[in-house]
Structure 1
Amino acid sequence: MSRFDPRGRRNRALLVGVSEYDHTAPDPQGVSGQLPAVLHNRRVLEDALHRGGVFRAGEIRVLASPAPDDFTGELRRAVRETEGLLLLYFAGHAVVTDTSTHKLHLQMRTARVVAGEELPGAVSFAGVLGELCAPQSRAEKVLVILDCCYAGNAAAIWHRFEAPQESKERILLLMSVQPNRCILGGDADVATPFTRELARVLDGGGPVWLSTLYPALKRRMAEAGYEAEDNDRQKPQALAPPWNPDADILLAAGPAPAPVPSPAPAPVPDPASAPVPSAAPAPVPDPASAPVPSPTPAPAPNLAPAPAPVTTPAPAPVPPPPAPPARPRPGSRVRHPYPSRPRRRLRAAADRLGRTALTLLLALVATGTGGYGLFALIGGTAPCAPSLELRVLTDPDLEPAMRAAADAFVASAANTTGDGCRRSGVTVGSAGAADVVTALGERTDAWQQPREDDNPQRDIGPQPDVWIPATRADVDRVNQAAAREDRVFARLEPAAGPIAYSPVVLAVPKALDAGLDPTGRSLSRLVTDLRRADGRAELRRPDPEFTDAALLATMALHGERADARGAELSVTRAGRPEPSAVRLLCALPDDDAVDDRSAALVPEFLLKSGIGCHPATRAPRVAVYPDDVPGLEPAFVRVRWEDGDRDAEARDDAVDRFRAWLTGEGGLAVLGEHGFRSATGERRLLTPRQVPESLAEFVRPARPARAADMDLALERYANAHGPGRVLYLLDSSGSMAGRWDGDSGGPGILKQTLPGLGGEDEYGVWAVHGVGGRTHTELLRFTTHARADAERHLDAARWRDAEADPAAALRDALEFMAERGAGDERPQLIVYLTDGEDDNRLTGRALRDVLDRAGGAGVPVAMVSLTSSGCDQGRPATRIAEAGRGRCLDAGDDLVPALHDEVARTGMGEE
């Protein structure tokens, strides 16, 4: 190992200077004062590092008086990005909570001084070391420079810090003062003494190594006579002199030294004269040592220019020691080139006893070694080497079919050598489509170097070699997002053309007998016609944030100019939607009545292949083909990761073989069995001899999906299901006196629906009473609420000795909610709970006015009657609920759970 010259590497310098504090004396919890000198510290050190030539443009970041979270976030970012030298500098106030154990805390802008171990607004130095020693750190060297009180205490913390020794040894410390000493705040016009002298040494000209920087600093500060508090000399400290040459770091570069002539190459020996090596049996790999698929590709060799050589006296030639084995990166694969010790012993036994005797010996241990071990030891040829494993990521709806295709490929001749060995394995996984698009476009750095708060390897899966999205538009979405990022660690290489095709269909139960034409209409029109044909019909759709099929259907439901909030009301929803079409079709048979009345928006291939989730019999369905829903066109995308080229040639070969097989006869046969269609032409089923009666023989595809349309639909969907608004109208007239108290009374029922609302939802309660003037009073202000506060207001509610005017109150409520929802697509709901005693004011012109407003407001109205006949056909509550596309619930229903579900559809719910 030689001294470390970081030039040409990816280096980072994070300069943290806290000159301003929110809490200072005479505040009893404030720090001792502001530090105006630190303003100069940040500038002079940044300038010196720029001139030094080790850190390039963009590699120095300055944090001016950060809060703790800002500091920690930037530190994690620097750790994640550094591959060469990471320099962390801190200047500001610092305290120790125990001088005997040296617990050092760096105080950020929000710091307060309170009794106890944990100090608000401070970051413990042990915590800083934890970030620097994190597994994702790839920095070769880390230099921490502290210019603060008690800076010298950091060395003891380093010695006691529990971390792998190789991680600790990368970290070097330069400290402005000895342990348990405070330093002076400095002059407001110049930098503090330590940083001032540090910058001067860096600017001194010529190369500046850490080993020369430290003694120069000590000498200069001693000559200047700088003092700490109590007239004590300020003496810089380092961890730990004398410097080990292998730990030295170049911090400023001088002129490049003259090149040293290369020695003449050694003569190449004549192959004919080389000794012939003795024959030896080839090592037999142990199957137990087969590599596990790595979530992080192995690093590529560093291709940066070699650092300028350092001129030193030529040492006497010494035979080079044997190279130590390379230390693997966390998560990388480790190959074991030698057979395991038990196998070596058995191999030796074979030489002594012969094959027959060894066979008998192995029979005694067969239960321990397994069939593969027996074959490897007694077979006539060497066993199969561990095969490379491809990682394939796909859409959740596609996963069953792609898994079946991968299994068939692995066992196929295309993946088998002439010796009968498997060339590669394939692991297929899936994750939410929107999450995958975001991760590949915006979070590839975190995917490559996961951290606790951002870990796609945990949330999505290992870095894929192949991505098979449901539509090529997803590739465009990723590329558009990646173009906005400073740096992207993955590159997508999509193959030309889709693999196969499957339309997204409206799967209508035969029990509905809707009689819909198979095609020729938009999805919105089909849904309207379905409900006209059978009023029992419900529309079910998986989560558009999880699968592309559901998102493509959502695009058509919303339309180009349609109201997304209104369109979402057409989808039946009780609680969270199922994440995928597979899960939806599995869940529907749990309730035969629901299954018989639910039309489902799903990929057509699932109606042919089945889903195999449980033995329940699904309701038979007929596929109806909307002409405005883009179909699924799975794309084969090679994903290349930065620093992932150690086995690139072998991995490319495996990917190419899998792609050729998947898009060829073998792969299309498997996809045909799963119900896919041809990717071109009339989109006939790949197995036309097995066309089910409920499916069309060929289909006319809608226009392909576009990235912008998908992003817009996803945004509108999120808005329409984001934080909701609910306005409760509680009949508080005198007739409610006997229906007021307890869980079955008006306030008690409303209280039981509050768990459907969360901290981001807005809601309020109007007490409805009075005629001829003001028709309601505000019982709970319309805003966000803590549940306990809302319950207290409802507990305090009282009925009034007065009549009510429900028509006037509903008109006011519809106008109020229309104003709230004018600028967005957030879900809204009006709930009117009454005993129906005042329905005589919901007749004639008053009723027609409410019906007109409810029909045009775009706000569902849930009418809740405490009488058993309140929702009979023709009653005012029923007509208002129908006009407002809401529900009517009365005492004949399971009222409280049903109303809770209505509220939960609008609100975000409690965490």
Structure 2
Amino acid sequence: MINVLPDPGASRAVLVGTSRYQYLEQLPAVSNNLKALAGLLRGPLSLHLPPEQVSVIENPPDTSMVMDAVRQAADGATDTLIVYFAGHGLVDGQDELGLALPHTQTGRIETVLPYDWLRRVLLEESRAERHVVILDCCYSGRALGRMSAASGLADQAEVEGSFLLAASAETRTALAPVGDTYTAFTGALLDTLTHGIPGGPALLDLAAVYWHLRRTLEARRHPVPQARNRNSGAQVALGRNRAELPAVPMTTAPDAPAAARPWPDPRSIRTVTGYFTSLAAVREVSGLTQQAVVQRSGGRISSTSTVGRLVNGHALPAAWPTTAAYLSACGLSDEEVLRWQDAWQRLRSELPPADPRGPAALPSGKDASVPKTERKRRPFSAFRRRGAH
């Protein structure tokens, strides 16, 4: 498996955080964590997920609100599902991890969201091929600015076919410094995805992100994060490496050779949303302006508005030449353009045939524009047999 960005049309994210507590110490930075991470996942610096596919749950009043959102996302995602939690964490007498909600009380297990509930949804109910679990959590009873995690946190929380990124395995160092905008761990994660890793890979896969966070936080004398990888989950990318993208546009000369660049891989595209997101990313990776693309097209693209319509569409184009001209002008080779054409043809073949009676003939409440791919759900027992715990 090669490192690849998830298809945004087939992926979902659920971001949960508790910043206000009735009985535990307050963690105001968690609110900023949620806003910034949601904005990043929805934007071009990261996965460019459609806004409706990023659920943000801040200070949930009860466990059902969280569980409902995770179940809905688990049912909708067929590519990648991201689950994030920030707030206090508790470990009970059986060494089970619990996530603290606004009304959580120490010693009252009925007020805690057991992590195992989320884990079982991912194992038993999720249709996604890959899962990314990010935990920025702590024990209760610490003064404001002291978020920490159990030494066995990653082992308790791991999910088959996933990558788990846990904030810390230590208890002695503050993870939410008073007055900081973000918690230390999430702040470092946001900085990595926004600015990239100098000298790092073209795609910021989870393995690269983890090791960069580890070095960064260790240098700051913060707790060292943990990670667990199952079934190549570490190869899931959360964005392109901004530090390695061209700082200035390529020359506009039509015959200028294109350097090796981290072009989006059309073979990973599953949905129309993913197609247009990746198509727009081609120009970003090239470093070209829209005007430069027009100039390099040799007259095959008439204006910048044509480029804008091409990459911001909602329905696949009926003809291929304009897209081919765009890709070639951005610097893709003929072989790469052919791979894109294969993806375009594949997506078009998966669309249902037009109903000769017109849209009015469709059953009420049915949307036949994009077929829903069904995958057989694997029973929890299957994971048990493979050694999940």
Structure 1 and Structure 2 fold alike (TM over 0.5): yes
**Aligned counterparts of 1:204 and 1:245: Cα–Cα separation in 2:** 25
Larger Rg belongs to: 1
Distance 1:145 1:212 in 2: 15
Please, which of 218, 225, 235 is the counterpart of residue 221 of structure 2? 225
Q: Secondary structure at the match of 2:121?
A: helix
- TM-score, normalised via structure 1 length: 0.26
**3-state SS of the aligned residue for 2:26?**
coil
Q: Corresponding residue for 1:14?
A: 14
Which amino acid in the other structure matches residue 177 of structure 1? S
Distance 1:105 1:246, change over 3 A: closer
From 45, 50, 63, give the equivalent of 2:37: 45
Aligned match for 2:181, one of 173, 190, 194: 190
Residue from 83, 91, 97 that aligns with 1:96: 91
Whole-Å Cα distance in 1 between the matches of residues 194 and 111 of structure 2?
34
CA-CA distance at 1:180 after TM superposition: 6.8
Instruction: Work out whether residues 35 and 92 of structure 1, in 8 Å CA contact, stay in contact via their aligned partners in 2.
Output: yes
What one-letter code is carried by the residue in structure 2 that aligns with 1:642?
K
- Tell me the equivalent position of 1:82: 77
2:236 to 249, 252, 260: 249
Pick from 118, 134, 153 the counterpart of residue 124 of structure 2: 134
Gaps in structure 1 of 5+ consecutive residues: 25-30, 160-167, 227-233, 261-300, 310-474, 483-487, 492-639, 645-911
1:92 partner SS: strand
Structure 2 residue 63 is the aligned partner of structure 1 residue 64:
no
Tell me what 1:125 maps to: 115
**Structure 1 pair 49/258, CA: closer, same or farther in 2 (3 Å)?**
closer
Contact residue 19 and residue 59 of structure 2 kept, 8 A: yes
Paired position in structure 2 for 1:854 = none
Contact preservation (8 Å) 1:12, 1:55:
no
| TM-score of the superposed pair, with normalisation by structure 2 | 0.57
2:372 to 642, 654, 671: 642
Task: Give the CA deviation at 1:71.
Answer: 0.9
**Residue 73 (str. 1) matches residue 72 (str. 2):** no
Q: Residue in 2 aligned with 1:171?
A: 162
1:447-489 Cα offsets, whole Å, 9 max, x none, are xxxxxxxxxxxxxxxxxxxxxxxxxxxx99962xx2xxxxx56
Code of the residue aligned with 1:65 in structure 2: it is: N
Which secondary structure does the structure 1 equivalent of 2:110 belong to? coil
Counterpart secondary structure, 2:195: coil
Offset from partner CA, 1:615-644 (integer Å, 9 cap, x none): xxxxxxxxxxxxxxxxxxxxxxxxx97337
Is the contact between residue 175 and residue 185 of structure 2 (CA under 8 Å) also seen in structure 1?
no
CA contact under 8 A between 1:142 and 1:171: conserved in structure 2?
yes
- Map residues 782-797 of structure 1 onto 2, 5 A cutoff: none
1:329-408 mapped onto 2 (5 Å cutoff) = none
Offset, 1:146 = 0.5
Q: CA deviation at 1:53?
A: 3.5
* Deviation of 1:190 (Å): 1.2
SS of the residue corresponding to residue 123 of structure 1 reads strand
| 3-state DSSP of counterpart to 2:187 | helix
What residue ranges of structure 2 are gaps of 5+ in the alignment?
139-148, 197-201, 246-259, 282-359, 375-389
Pairs within 5 Å for 1:676-715: none
Cα offsets for 1:39-87 (capped at 9, x unmatched): 2211222233334231323122211111211111111111111112111
In 1, the alpha carbon distance for the partners of 2:67 and 2:179 equals 28
CA contact (8 A) 2:3 2:235 kept: yes
- For the 8 Å contact 1:44–1:196, the answer to whether it is kept is no
CA distance in 2, matches of 1:250, 1:102: 32
Distance 1:213 1:97, change over 3 A: same
Deviation string 1:735-766 (CA, Å, 9 cap, x unpaired) is xxxxxxxxxxxxxxxxxxxxxxxxxxxxxxxx
- Structure 1 residue 185: Cα displacement: 4.0
Conservation of the 8 A alpha-carbon contact between 2:6 and 2:80: yes
Contact kept, 8 Å, 1:197 with 1:217, in 2: the verdict is yes
CA 1:641–1:258: 2 relative to 1, 3 Å: closer
Query: What count of residue pairs does the alignment treat as equivalent?
Result: 254
For residue 3 of structure 2, give the secondary structure of its aligned residue in structure 1: coil
Distance 1:156 1:61 in 2: 26
Q: Which residue does the alignment assign to 1:211?
A: 207
Find the aligned partners of 1:246 and 1:63 in 2 and give their Cα distance: 25
Conservation of the 8 A alpha-carbon contact between 2:160 and 2:231: no
Give the Cα separation in 2 of the matches to 1:180 and 1:97.
16
What displacement does 1:184 show?
Answer: 4.6
Question: Displacement of 1:253 after TM fit?
Answer: 2.3
The aligned runs of 1:651-800 (5 Å cut-off) are none
Q: Structure 2 vs 1, CA of residues 37 and 139 (structure 1 numbering), >3 Å: closer, same or farther?
A: same
1:148 partnered with 2:144: no
Partner of 1:731: none
- What letter is aligned with 2:46? G
> Is the 1:208–1:250 contact (alpha carbons within 8 Å) kept by the matching residues of 2?
yes
* Residues 60 and 101, structure 2, Cα contact 8 Å, conserved in 1: yes
Work out whether residues 9 and 50 of structure 2, in 8 Å CA contact, stay in contact via their aligned partners in 1. Answer: no
Contact 1:153/1:179 (<8 A) preserved = no
> Structure 1's 157 and 57: CA in aligned 2 closer, same or farther, altered over 3 A?
same
Aligned-residue identity in percent: 26
Pick one of 200, 220, 236 that aligns with 2:225: 236
Alpha-carbon deviation of 1:5?
Answer: 2.3
* Alignment match, 2:306: none
1:296-353 Cα distance to aligned partner (Å, 9 max, x none): xxxxx945568799xxxxxxxxxxxxxxxxxxxxxxxxxxxxxxxxxxxxxxxxxxxx
Secondary structure at the aligned position of 1:197 is classed as helix
| Distance in 2 separating the partners of 1:185 and 1:235 | 14
Q: Is the 8 A contact 1:3 1:245 kept in 2?
A: no
Cα distance, 1:158 vs structure 2: 4.3
Structure 1 counterpart of 2:137, one-letter code: C
CA distance in structure 1 between the partners assigned to 2:32 and 2:186 by the alignment: 9
What is the match of residue 26 of structure 2? Answer: 34
CA contact (8 A) 1:152 1:176 kept: no
Local SS of the residue matching 1:13: strand
Task: Report the CA distance shift for 1:246/1:194 in structure 2 as closer, same or farther (over 3 A).
Answer: closer
Residue 108 of structure 1: how far off its partner (Å):
1.2
Query: Superposition pairs for residues 153-552 of structure 1, below 5 Å?
Result: 153-158=152-157, 168-178=159-169, 183-205=174-196, 207-226=203-222, 234-240=223-229, 247-254=234-241, 255=245, 257=261, 302=270, 479=364, 482=365
The answer for the alignment partner of 2:5 in structure 1 is 5
> Quick one: which amino acid aligns to residue 83 of structure 2?
L
Q: Distance in 2 between matches of 1:643 and 1:69?
A: 27
Change (3 A) 1:152 1:16: farther
Distance 2:233 2:180 in 1: 39
Distance 1:9 1:57 in 2: 7
C-alpha spacing 1:55/1:141, structure 2 compared with 1 (3 Å): farther
The yes-or-no answer on 1:54 pairing with 2:28 is: no
